[in-house]
Structure 1
Amino acid sequence: MMRFLVMILLMVPLPAAAFTARNGMEVAQAGPSGMAVMFRTAREDTDYWCAAGDYAQRALNQPVGTRLWRASPKPRGSGQGLLFTLDPAQKAEGAGLSQFGKGPRDGSMSIGQAVSAHCQVIVPLWRD
């Protein structure tokens, strides 16, 4: 039932109070430990991780070591955003990231890693 409500949330326009992540994507609270990153054309999955991590860090004041899971099952439908969670019980099985090296192999990523590895700095090509 909660996933159905969240999917509805992902398709509804956001109120003016929505959080804008450092990469320009919009994020809204989705339940006590969830966040919905709205769809944006021409964006990679890593852009969604960036937005969720940025929201968790700056809006929810979570420490950088807090784990973040994808709660939306794969594959993401055309025109749909992604749901993320801080609660491992709400994660979508098999929808996380492939992991290499050390660290938990549960499809999660730390908030700090999501922001530092996936939030791209956009440098304008022109000057005003």
Structure 2
Amino acid sequence: MRIILMALLALPLPAHAFTARNGMEARQVDATDIAVPFEAGRTDTDYWCAAGDLAQQVMNQPVATRIWRASPKPREAGQGILFTLDPARQAQGAGLSQFGSGPRDGALSVGQAVASHCRIIIPFIRDR
């Protein structure tokens, strides 16, 4: 019985959803990729927030770690966005426009994705 339990623990577990501080879900796909499923009414920066928050809190990445968009633009209706920490997997021309100093590689740092793009969504509660 102990051998069976040890064998089961050695198998990879399915990826569980992570809820980012803006309420969006994100999943770690592998060592470098993060999937953020489609959510109606969200902007691209909301997706960057979810990816950055997961990279920081789940993957324990430092704030200087760069995140690229791996899904090409434009995305089709109802499609989420795949992000990557691997610059070789980035989708050319799919990053955000950046102003100011710093690298212009289409990526955001984990810290910038969280600090600049994570806004807490407070649901509207109606009186009944």
> What TM bracket, shorter-length normalisation?
0.7 to 0.9
1:38 corresponds to:
37
User: In structure 2, how many angstroms separate the alpha carbons of the residues matched to 1:53 and 1:90?
Assistant: 17
Give the share of equivalent positions with the same residue, in percent.
68
Q: Does 1:51 align with 2:50?
A: yes
1:97 corresponds to:
96
**Long gaps (5+) in structure 1:** 1-14
8 Å CA contact retained: 2:66, 2:109: yes
User: In structure 2, how many angstroms separate the alpha carbons of the residues matched to 1:39 and 1:52?
Assistant: 13
Question: TM-score, length-normalised on structure 2?
Answer: 0.82
1:83 corresponds to:
82
CA deviation vs aligned residue, 1:47-88 (integer Å, no higher than 9, x gap):
000000000000000001101100000001100000000010
2:67 corresponds to:
68
- Give the 3 Å change call, closer, same or farther, for CA 32–16 of structure 1 in structure 2: closer
Structure 1 residues 27-36 or 56-65, which shifts more? 27-36
Shift of 1:124: 5.5
2:108 corresponds to:
109
User: In structure 2, how many angstroms separate the alpha carbons of the residues matched to 1:24 and 1:82?
Assistant: 16
User: In structure 1, how many angstroms separate the alpha carbons of the residues matched to 2:110 and 2:82?
Assistant: 15
- Give the 3 Å change call, closer, same or farther, for CA 126–65 of structure 1 in structure 2: same
**Long gaps (5+) in structure 2:** 1-13
Shift of 1:30: 1.8
2:118 corresponds to:
119
Structure 1 residues 112-121 or 26-35, which shifts more? 26-35
Question: TM-score, length-normalised on structure 1?
Answer: 0.82
The one-letter code of the counterpart of 1:109 is: L
The one-letter code of the counterpart of 1:40 is: E
- Runs of 4+ aligned structure 1 residues displaced above 2 Å come to 121-128
Shift of 1:122: 2.9
Task: Count residues with an aligned counterpart.
Answer: 114
Shift of 1:121: 2.3
